[in-house]
Chain A
């Protein structure tokens, strides 16, 4: 520890007196007691001495010609370099000692002449000690100020790091979403692209066959071809692959019984056209020598509609994903409260996770009617994203995800329950800790639930967890009483 502001261990004392005898006496006494003493015979000499040598204490006579002690002291106190040096005034008993003035100009004490040696030494030692303490204190203060500054810098750095971590956690969640969303968008795009190429094929063949059919077929035959096409277009039933195979087999048998050649190919074409009934009425076409081209013509005509339907379905699916993405990136960057429907927010996240969910997760939505509440929708999206993502992961993408929304004592209560293996008892208390993660390195920062809890707190709410194997529930309570002006 550095506890000295003195230049050396021995205190330096400056004695100022115009009376040579007094000066010698004081210098003698103090030197004898181990101090390093400098004499000065007047104010000018004293002031210049303090500028060039280190001085820890000054004994200052008041009554001096030209510049008296008060003036010397005043000058010392007005100079930043010397103002810290304690000044003890020395005054002869017959002098008029103005104690008030002595203290007023900055003196710390006074001694009257003739003095007792012990008194002088005691006062000198006292003020040196005080001075030493004060110096120490100042040193400590400087150190503290420095430490304080360092702490403030560290805090700033930590805050910046935290921001970065929150940002990277957001990006990680987004990255997981994007992989799934790529699939969700590419699938309808694939259907659209292939439908477009199919439609142009159909049109090409229609224009190829039409003139020939008009020339060679009877009006009745053409009407029947159109009827087959219309029958296909009007059938809006959807069959699973399994059901279509069953129907196709039945139609094949039926055609074979009616003596239609190439029954299985025709049955396949009919099943693609979703035609399974009233087949007998199409016999004149199906048994015609040019039956393949005639049926293909009906297939192409109705195919325009099938292609269009596929495109429509695909576009709807892709828009739904894009819409969900848009809602997810809801811009409340200004950190303002918005009156929001919580359920719409939760469903948006479910839409974005559709890809993970549909492959083995059953979603149960128990939503009670709750009013719109003021909240930070963007941040709540992060809460739902985290909790739903964790739930799906906890179940290894297979099981039941239950979302309950109710209200309770002025709070919106949202429970997200998964049927996964549960949270081990020994880590249950730690899951909300920042940087605590059970995921392999690189997969999670361990900040997800910490951020979730912070966001919930911002909504004057609470988050709780209960977990047993097969049933883990995160329950979020959000205050329904937040108001735009009450937020700070």
Chain B
């Protein structure tokens, strides 16, 4: 049985690298950490993992990315996988988009860049506890 996956989505490589390192250190090797640079890539990964029967537990996604924005991405994921815990991590708040994600994608929480390690890890852990 494969380890469950935590997926990070951001168009900035520097964010993905440090975010993944942060999660890895805090949550250890009981999870596999995947990263994607835009929503389409993330959706591909989700489909692929789903086909391989690997469960995705949680997604941390940027909002402002080329192509599909974070709220739309979350809504798309939610329609197929309502159980995945969804967290937005954004540098620019578009309140309407955030509200939409809460309403239509059962968003767990929206965090703002620059985030603190404490709030990130607490948010991720509280999300995983919901499962």
Interface majority SS (helix, strand, loop, mixed), chain B: mixed
A46 within 8 A of B: no
Q: Which of A182, A189, A191, A314 contacts B92 (CB 8 A)?
A: A182
The answer, yes or no, to whether A193 is at the interface (CB within 8 Å) is yes
Residue ID in chain B nearest A239 by CB atoms: B13
B32 within 8 A of A: yes
Contact of A197 among B12, B34, B35, B117 (CB under 8 A): B117
A190 to B115, CA, bound (A): 6
Using Cβ atoms and an 8 Å threshold, which residues of chain A touch B117? Answer: 193-194, 197
Residue numbers in A under 8 Å from B36 (CB-CB): 241
Contact partners of A242 in chain B: CB under 8 A: 37, 41
Give which listed residue, B24, B25, B116, contacts A193 with CB less than 8 A: B116
Residue A186 CB within 8 A of the other chain: yes
Q: C-beta contact mask, B13-55 vs A, less than 8 Å → 1, else 0?
A: 1111111111011000100111111000100010000000000
- A-B contacts besides A194-B115, A306-B21, 19 pairs, CB < 8 Å: A183-B91, A187-B15, A187-B113, A190-B15, A190-B113, A191-B15, A193-B115, A194-B19, A194-B21, A198-B18, A241-B16, A241-B35, A242-B41, A245-B34, A264-B2, A265-B3, A272-B17, A355-B64, A359-B64
* Chain A residues near B89 (CB-CB < 8 A): 190
Shortest beta-carbon distance from A487 to chain B in Å: 40
Question: With A241-B37, A241-B41, A306-B17 given, is the CB distance from A198 to B115 under 8 Å?
Answer: no
A48 at the interface (CB under 8 A from B): no
Contact of A358 among B17, B22, B66 (CB under 8 A): B66
Distance between Cα atoms of A264 and B3 in the complex (Å) = 10
Contact B114 A310 (CB under 8 A): no
What is the total number of residues of chain A having a CB less than 8 Å from a CB of chain B? 40
Complex-state Cα separation, A201 to B14, whole angstroms: 18
B19 proximity list for chain A (CB < 8 A): 194
Report the bound CA distance from A198 to B120 in whole Å.
13
Q: Which A212-249 residues have a C-beta within 8 angstroms of B? A: 238, 240-242, 244-245
Residues of chain A having any CB pair with chain B under 8 Å = 179-180, 182-195, 197-198, 201, 238, 240-242, 244-245, 264-265, 268, 272, 292, 303, 306-307, 310, 313-314, 355, 358-360
The smallest beta-carbon distance between B114 and chain A, in angstroms, is: 4
Query: Given A183, A191, A358, A360, which contacts B18 in the complex, CB threshold below 8 Å?
Result: A191
Instruction: Let me know if B14 and A310 touch, CB within 8 A.
Output: yes
Q: Are B113 and A186 in contact (CB under 8 A)?
A: yes
Given contacts A198-B25, A360-B67, whether A310 and B91 have CB atoms under 8 Å apart is: no
Q: Looking at the complex, which one of B32, B66, B120 makes contact with A268 (CB distance below 8 Å)? A: B32
Contacting pair B66 A310 (CB below 8 A): no
A481–chain B nearest beta-carbon distance, Å? 43
B residues within 8 A CB of A314?
A: 14
* Most chain A CB atoms below 10 A, which of B64, B67, B92, B115: B92
Q: Which residues of A contact B37 (CB under 8 A)?
A: 240-242
B66 touches A360 (CB 8 A): yes
Q: A194 with B22: in contact, given A186-B112, A241-B35, A264-B32 (CB under 8 Å)?
A: yes
Residue pair A186, B92 in contact (C-beta under 8 Å): yes
Contact between A190 and B17, CB atoms less than 8 A apart: no
Are B35 and A190 neighbours in the complex by a CB distance under 8 Å?
Answer: no
Least distance between B65 CB and chain A CB atoms (Å):
7
Nearest CB in chain B to that of A244: its residue: B35
Query: Which residues of B have CB within 8 Å of A195?
Result: 18
What is the minimal beta-carbon distance from A291 to any residue of chain B, in angstroms?
12
CA separation between A307 and B113, bound complex, in Å?
17
**CB nearest neighbor in B for A180:** B92
Whole-angstrom distance between the alpha carbons of A185 and B21 in the complex?
A: 21
Tell whether, in the assembled complex, residue B64 and residue A292 are in contact, meaning their CB atoms are under 8 Å apart. Answer: no
Residues of B48-96 at the interface with A, using a CB-CB cut-off of 8 Å, are 64-67, 89-92
Least Cβ distance of A297 to chain B in Å? 13
Residues of B within 8 A of A186 (CB): 91-92, 112-114
Q: In the complex, A184→B90 CA distance in Å?
A: 11
Known: A180-B92, A188-B14. A292 touches B20 (CB 8 A): no
Contact A268 B33 (CB under 8 A): yes
Of chain A, the residue at the smallest CB distance from B16 is A241
CB under 8 Å from chain A, chain B span 105-131: 112-117, 120
Bound together, the chains give a CA A188 to CA B64 distance in angstroms of 14
A193 to B92, CA, bound (A): 17
Q: Which residue of A lies closest to B23 (CB)?
A: A194
Is A198 in contact with B13, judged by CB distance below 8 angstroms?
A: no
Q: Interface centre among B11, B21, B36, B66, by most A CB within 10 Å?
A: B21
* Inter-chain contacts of B12 with A (CB < 8 A): 187, 191
A440 to chain B, nearest CB (A): 15
Which 3 A-B residue pairs are closest in the complex by CB-CB distance?
A186-B91, A190-B113, A183-B92
Q: Are A192 and B114 in contact (CB under 8 A)?
A: yes
Contacts of A180 in B (CB 8 A): 92
Q: Which residue of B lies closest to A262 (CB)?
A: B29
